[in-house]
Amino acid sequence: MAEPLRIGVLAVQGDVREHATMLQDAGAEVVEVRRPQELDGLDGLVLPGGESTAIGRLVRLAGLEEPLRAFRGPVFGTCAGLILLARAASDGVPGQPLLGLLDVAVRRNGYGRQVASFEADLDLAGEAEPLRGVFIRAPRITERGPGVEVLAALDGDPVLVQEGRILAASFHPELAGDGRVHERFLEIVREESCVGA
Amino acid sequence: MTELGTMRVKSGLAEMLKGGVIMDVTTAEQARIAEEAGAVAVMALERVPADIRREGGVARMADPTKIREIQEAVTIPVMAKARIGHFVEAQVLEALEVDYVDESEVLTPADEEHHIDKWAFNVPFVCGCRDIGEALRRISEGAAMIRTKGEAGTGDIVNAVRHMRSVFGAIRRLQTLSGDELYAEAKELRAPLELVRWVAENGRLPVVTFTAGGIATPADAALCMQLGADGVFVGSGIFKSADPSTMAKAIVEATTNFRDAEILARVSEGLGEPMRGLSAAGLAPDELLEARGW
The tens digit of pLDDT for each residue in A15-60 reads 999 999 999 999 999 999 999 999 999 999 999 999 999 999 999 9
Q: Do B15 and A11 count as a contact with CB atoms less than 8 A apart?
A: no
CB B220 within 8 A of CB B214: yes
Q: Please tell me if residue B257 touches chain A, with a CB cutoff of 8 Å.
A: yes
Complex confidence, ipTM:
0.94
CB pairs under 8 A between A and B: 118
Distances (CA, A) of B72 to A97, A195, B24, B134: 22, 48, 16, 35
- As a whole number of angstroms, the distance between CA B217 and CA B238 comes to 9
Q: Do A50 and B256 count as a contact with CB atoms less than 8 A apart?
A: no
- As a whole number of angstroms, the distance between CA A108 and CA A92 comes to 6
Q: Please tell me if residue B17 touches chain A, with a CB cutoff of 8 Å.
A: yes
Candidates A172, A183, A192, A194; catalytic one: A172
Catalytic residues of B: 81
Give the domain extent around A190. Answer: 6-196
Distances (CA, A) of B87 to A34, B77, B92: 41, 21, 9
**B76 contacts on A by Cβ (under 8 Å):** 51, 53-54
Q: With 60 as the cut, is the pLDDT of residue B86 above it?
A: yes
**B124 contacts on A by Cβ (under 8 Å):** 114
CB B215 within 8 A of CB B156: no
pLDDT band at B275 (very low <50, low <70, confident <90, very high): confident
Q: CB-CB: which of B15, B37, B98 is closest to A18?
A: B15
- As a whole number of angstroms, the distance between CA A69 and CA B64 comes to 42
Number of domains in chain A: 1
B53: left (phi over 0), alpha (psi -120 to 50) or beta: alpha
pLDDT at A2: 75
Sheet hosting strand A149-154, strand order edge to edge: A29-33, A6-10, A44-47, A75-78, A166-169, A157-163, A149-154
List, for residues A111-136, the tens digit of each pLDDT value. 999 999 999 999 998 899 999 999 99
In this structure, the number of other CB atoms found within 10 A of the CB of residue B32 comes to 17
- As a whole number of angstroms, the distance between CA B76 and CA B71 comes to 9
Residue A1 lies in a domain: no
Mean pLDDT, chain B, integer: 96
CB B153 within 8 A of CB B235: yes
Residue A70 lies in a domain: yes
CATH no. for residue A148?
3.40.50.880
Q: Please tell me if residue A136 touches chain B, with a CB cutoff of 8 Å.
A: yes
Q: Do B75 and A116 count as a contact with CB atoms less than 8 A apart?
A: no
As a whole number of angstroms, the longest Cα–Cα distance in chain B is 55
CB B174 within 8 A of CB B186: no
Residue A81 lies in a domain: yes
CB B191 within 8 A of CB B237: no
Chain A residue closest in CA terms to B19: A13
Q: Please tell me if residue B72 touches chain A, with a CB cutoff of 8 Å.
A: no
pLDDT at A1: 56
Distances (CA, A) of A143 to A84, A148, B218: 15, 10, 41
Residue A38 lies in a domain: yes
Q: Percentage of chain B surpassing pLDDT 70?
A: 100
Q: Please tell me if residue A153 touches chain B, with a CB cutoff of 8 Å.
A: no
Q: Do B9 and A79 count as a contact with CB atoms less than 8 A apart?
A: no
- As a whole number of angstroms, the distance between CA A89 and CA A86 comes to 7
Q: CB-CB: which of B9, B17, B256 is closest to A12?
A: B256
What's the mean pLDDT in B142-146? Answer: 98
What's the mean pLDDT in B75-83? Answer: 97
pLDDT band at B159 (very low <50, low <70, confident <90, very high): very high
- Cite the beta strand spans of A21-117 per DSSP E: 29-33, 44-47, 75-78, 86-90, 102-107
Q: Do A34 and B8 count as a contact with CB atoms less than 8 A apart?
A: no
pLDDT band at B127 (very low <50, low <70, confident <90, very high): very high
pLDDT band at A196 (very low <50, low <70, confident <90, very high): low
Q: Please tell me if residue B12 touches chain A, with a CB cutoff of 8 Å.
A: yes
pTM, entire model: 0.96
pLDDT at A194: 76
| Segment holding A161, helix H or strand E | strand A157-163
pLDDT at B44: 95
Q: CB-CB: which of A51, A109, A113 is closest to B20?
A: A51
Q: Please tell me if residue A117 touches chain B, with a CB cutoff of 8 Å.
A: yes
Chain B residue closest in CA terms to A55: B38
List, for residues A51-87, the tens digit of each pLDDT value. 999 999 999 999 999 999 999 999 999 999 999 999 9
Q: Which of B2, B7, B15 to mutate to test the interface with A (most CBs of A within 10 A)?
A: B15
Q: What is the DSSP letter of A3?
A: P
pLDDT at A195: 66
Q: Do A49 and B35 count as a contact with CB atoms less than 8 A apart?
A: no
